Amino acid sequence: MHAVPIDLASNPDLCFRVDSFFVPDAARAEFDAQMRQNLAVLETLAGFRGHLVLEKAGGPTAFNVVTIAAWESSSALEQAGVAVRAHYQKVGFDMPATLARWGVKAELGNFCAPRRTP
């Protein structure tokens, strides 16, 4: 796993892919294996800065796994999305169908720090 330095003063263009999942216990091993395969692809892409996986420790949310991938810029994040979709098509991975088969619920999004005026 890569360290994800979040130093927006030095790297104001950092952007993040934040994916929140509810993963049933019965699907967790397959989900984790797919997550490792996805990370292997992400690590090859330009602008990738790191990845973090968080597991729910408490609170009212139904999500129990959150992944955060850091990218050097919004452009790198957008290009990564194109590359990942192309990879999925090449290997025949249908993410929506697979998540549905596993009973996984997901909310996915791209985030960047807001620009503030001095």
Mean pLDDT of 87-116: 93
Token digits for 93? 């991975």
**The domain 24-110: what is its CATH number?**
3.30.70
Spatial CB neighbours of 15, under 8 Å, sequence gap ≥ 6 = 70, 71, 73, 74, 76, 77, 110, 111, 112
The pTM assigned to this predicted structure is 0.88
Q: What pLDDT band is residue 22 in, cutting at 50, 70 and 90?
A: very high
For residue range 25-77, what is the model confidence (pLDDT) as tens digits? 999 999 999 999 999 999 999 999 999 999 999 999 999 999 999 999 999 99
For residue 30, give the nearest of 103, 79, 90 by alpha carbon: 103
